[in-house]
A and B are shown apart, each in its own frame.
Chain A
């Protein structure tokens, strides 16, 4: 798994690629935590190139979403495909985390 961090219009975009599983989900969590520590309150996760996520990865999304909400921040996720989209739908995380079809739409407003 690789995570690229960029800033667009005052929002931090983390582009996560590869596979997020029980072994490395914690790395994603740490990267998000470090954004929160840096005072970031608008976080966009771009999953265009994420091919796989297991329940340990979903756990990280829930945890970060909760932390950001607690701080009054804005957490958005975009560009889910294949299995990743399927597991967000099965677990109904698509109902509680804001999902966007494109990075452009995830960057609008907020």
Chain B
């Protein structure tokens, strides 16, 4: 199985979500992930991409996002998302309080929690002005 990473670079704007999703779906097909894992993958990439496109770059001046994936072996997909916006480590974001009642719950704030919970592995590094977030998804988890 080929292990050369495939890469997509595009402008970080919410309207590009469809292209991003389609790109990682190719990786999912290559990795032969089951349906539920493909949907989990779509969720992870949406949460990351939408976050970057909303908050990473100054409003009215969107920058780019680079997404790459590799299939180290069947049933496993690694994805890296890079942007050059403001430094943001999702792993350091505080967990939402899930014990609150419906009335007390903030309406948002669940995206990063879903990302942390559903990703098989998740790591972040800041490198020469880049945010680099990597996650893995495995058919076995």
Contact = CB atoms under 8 A, between A and B. Distances in A.
B73 interface: no
B36 A82 contact: yes
The majority secondary structure among interface residues of chain B is: helix
B107 A66 contact: yes
B140 interface: no
Given A59-B108, A62-B105, A96-B101, A52 B39 contact: yes
A91 B108 contact: no
Nearest to B40: A83
B47 interface: yes
A97 interface: yes
Interface centre among A62, A69, A82 (most CB of B within 10 A): A62
A65 B39 contact: no
A22 B54 CA distance: 11
Interface stretch (B3-11, B76-84, B109-117, B121-129): B109-117
Contacts of A95: 98
The majority secondary structure among interface residues of chain A is: helix
Chain A interface category by residue count:
20 to 34
Nearest to B18: A23
A62 B107 contact: yes
Contact of B111 (A55, A65, A97): A55
Interface of A: 21-23, 51-52, 54-56, 58-59, 62-63, 65-66, 69, 82-83, 86-87, 90-92, 95-97
Given A22-B17, A66-B105, A90-B118, 20 more contacts: A21-B17, A21-B46, A23-B17, A52-B39, A54-B46, A54-B50, A55-B47, A55-B114, A59-B110, A62-B107, A63-B107, A82-B36, A90-B114, A90-B117, A91-B113, A91-B114, A92-B98, A92-B99, A96-B101, A96-B105
